[in-house]
Amino acid sequence: MSHLSTDRLAALGDEAPTPVEAAHLASCEACAREHAAYRALVTMAHEERGAIGIPLTRFEAIASALVADQIVVAPAARPVGQPARTRSFLRTPMRAAAGFLLLAGGAVAGRVSAGVSPLPFVRDSATAVASSSANLPTSIDSTNFASIEDARNAQLHSEARYQQAAAYLAEHDTTVAGEGSPVAYRSRLAALDQVISTTREAMRQAPHDPVINGYYLTTLGQREATLRQLNTVLPASLRANSF
Amino acid sequence: MENEQLTVQRALAGDQAAMRALWTRHAPHVDVVVRRLVGHDPDLAADIAQEVWIQIFRALPSFRGDAQFGTWAHRIAVNRTLNALRRTRRMASVEVDVEDDTASVEPEGERALLAASIEEAAAKLSPGARTVFLLHDVEGYTHEEIAAELGITAGGSKSQLFKARAKLRVLLAHLVDAPANTKFQPESSHVAPLY
């Protein structure tokens, strides 16, 4: 048979050849080479599907637009007694466990992401970081809130501020050794994955616990932020799609 | 993700932390779709991406959970981006582009314009051909779905795809060509095809 047309070769990028075409491809190296090139092209295109990039959007701008469009209510304007979060209260032991998980997981993620041992008894540079927090209040003053809603709004605000601060520090703080290197980001991702795995397990037992939910979401956010940071330090030809 | 439905439910209740979590998880995928379809106009891409996310959250009550949230959001991103591009009249001549976009490229001339990546190569296609190629080969749409999205026939979509691939095959020759087999000796009666 004559050579396959360009259109037909292009179609064979993801279609199966007929028996006659297959026989020709087996005997004609020129067509076989073109066939292989088109299949490589389609494979390249498929691989693009999983690619990610630095987001074009900022959540703060989206949230403002949603509030302006009255799709969501601004936290401060939400009527008292109409919480944004699902109300669900756990038994005291579970809440205590959730609190412990929050603190312990945060400590582990923080220490690992800072490039130090996750174990607190291994003395290292993290000790200095920890000591710098000595000027923070040593006890939680629960009298600063006028109502549950007030406290909840403060919690939402603090979560948002925490994520912003973490993102800022991750981008600008160059004082931590190893920060900004692919190895550091990969280590942080590994630590965050462990925390996500633990919180996911906790969520199976207490799917509506606001503490675990909040921590799970924060960790997911940190993971995605780290993934994007990793992509910024990898060579242009490499992109991390998932871990 | 098994707990994403819960996050969606919290977002539906107006929980901005949950909305942020959905955005954080999916923006790297959703925004890249917008950027890809828009091409080399980062300002327009950013505007459309913002529209896409507002539409995603606006449409959240219609998310039934029978597909992954990411898949659902991806569809909204494609649909909204194509609508936005139509508005800016970038897609007004899709049908014309299908017919005008020819695969007959001059191999030597095109070799001077080799592209470093599939994204760069696709940017050299006409808007219509680029859109069909991206929707089919990258985003995984069928020709019937593309036809419905773009208001063309499935046959027109196929024709445009093959022409796009032919052009990309030349532009990306250095990436898709296997090393030449130097032992190959074409038969004298076998005339080499023109690609």
B134: nearest CA in chain A?
Answer: A45
Do A55 and B31 count as a contact with CB atoms less than 8 A apart? Answer: yes
Angstroms from A44 CA to nearest CA on chain B: 8
Q: What average pLDDT does the segment B78-91 reach?
A: 82
Global confidence as pTM: 0.56
Question: Measured between beta carbons, which residues in chain A are less than 8 angstroms from residue B160?
Answer: none
Give B175-180's long-range contacts (Cβ < 8 A, gap of 24+).
B175/A40, B175/A44, B176/A37, B176/A38, B176/A40, B176/A41, B176/A44, B177/A33, B177/A37, B177/A40, B178/A33, B178/A36, B178/A37, B178/A40, B180/A33
Task: Compute the count of residue pairs across chains A and B with CB atoms less than 8 Å apart.
Answer: 191
Angstroms from B93 CA to nearest CA on chain A: 22
Q: Which two tokens stand for residue B92?
A: 């007004």
CA gap A109, A7 in Å, rounded: 54
Angstroms from A67 CA to nearest CA on chain B: 10
Name, in order, each residue with C-beta under 8 angstroms of A19's C-beta and a sequence gap of 6 or more.
none
The distance in angstroms from the start CA to the end CA of chain B is 45
Do A37 and B176 count as a contact with CB atoms less than 8 A apart? Answer: yes
Type of residue numbered A140: I
pLDDT tops 50 at residue B65: yes
Establish how many alpha carbons lie within 13 A of residue B1's alpha carbon, considering only the half-sphere containing its beta carbon. 19
A59: nearest CA in chain B?
Answer: B20
Confidence bin at B184 (pLDDT 50/70/90): very low
Which tens digit of pLDDT belongs to each residue from A25-41?
999 999 999 999 999 99
pLDDT tops 60 at residue B156: yes
Which tens digit of pLDDT belongs to each residue from B18-43?
999 999 899 988 999 999 999 888 89
Confidence bin at B113 (pLDDT 50/70/90): low
CB neighbourhood size of A186 (10 A): 14
Do B6 and A163 count as a contact with CB atoms less than 8 A apart? Answer: no
User: What integer pLDDT is reported at residue A119 of this predicted model?
Assistant: 41
The distance in angstroms from the start CA to the end CA of chain A is 48
Which tens digit of pLDDT belongs to each residue from A224-240?
777 777 777 766 555 55
CA gap B8, B51 in Å, rounded: 19
Q: Which residues of chain A have pLDDT under 50?
A: 78-98, 100, 111-112, 115-134, 136-138, 177, 242-243
pLDDT tops 60 at residue B189: no
CA gap A30, A34 in Å, rounded: 6
Q: Cα angle vertex A142, ends A136, A146, to 5°? A: 125
User: What integer pLDDT is reported at residue B54 of this predicted model?
Assistant: 94
Question: Is residue B187 packed enough to be buried (19+ CB in 10 Å), middle (13-18) or exposed (0-12)?
Answer: exposed
Assess A37–B contact: CB distance below 8 Å, yes or no.
Answer: yes
Do B49 and A57 count as a contact with CB atoms less than 8 A apart? Answer: yes
CA gap A137, A135 in Å, rounded: 7
Do A45 and B18 count as a contact with CB atoms less than 8 A apart? Answer: no
CA gap B100, B106 in Å, rounded: 16
Out of B28, B178, B186, the one facing A30 most closely (by C-beta) is: B186
Question: ipTM higher than 0.90?
Answer: no
CB neighbourhood size of A206 (10 A): 18
Do A4 and B14 count as a contact with CB atoms less than 8 A apart? Answer: no
Q: Which two tokens stand for residue B61?
A: 């009550």
User: What integer pLDDT is reported at residue B90 of this predicted model?
Assistant: 52
Angstroms from B131 CA to nearest CA on chain A: 13
Assess B105–A contact: CB distance below 8 Å, yes or no.
Answer: no
Assess A161–B contact: CB distance below 8 Å, yes or no.
Answer: no
CB–CB of B52/A60 below 8 Å? Answer: no
Assess B35–A contact: CB distance below 8 Å, yes or no.
Answer: yes
B166: nearest CA in chain A?
Answer: A10
CA gap A212, A200 in Å, rounded: 9
SS3 A189: helix
Q: Which two tokens stand for residue A208?
A: 């509506």
More confident residue, B165 or B96: B165
User: What integer pLDDT is reported at residue A121 of this predicted model?
Assistant: 39
Assess B168–A contact: CB distance below 8 Å, yes or no.
Answer: yes
Q: Which two tokens stand for residue A189?
A: 């991702």
Assess A29–B contact: CB distance below 8 Å, yes or no.
Answer: yes
Closest CA relative to residue B152, chosen from B78, B104, B99: B99
pLDDT tops 80 at residue B98: no
Angstroms from A71 CA to nearest CA on chain B: 6
Closest CA relative to residue A7, chosen from B124, B97, B103, B111: B103
Dihedral sign, CA of A35, A41, A44, A46?
negative
CB proximity under 8 Å: A 43-102 to B: 44-46, 48-49, 51-57, 59, 61-63, 65-66, 69, 71-73, 75, 78, 84-86
Type of residue numbered A184: A
A210: nearest CA in chain B?
Answer: B10
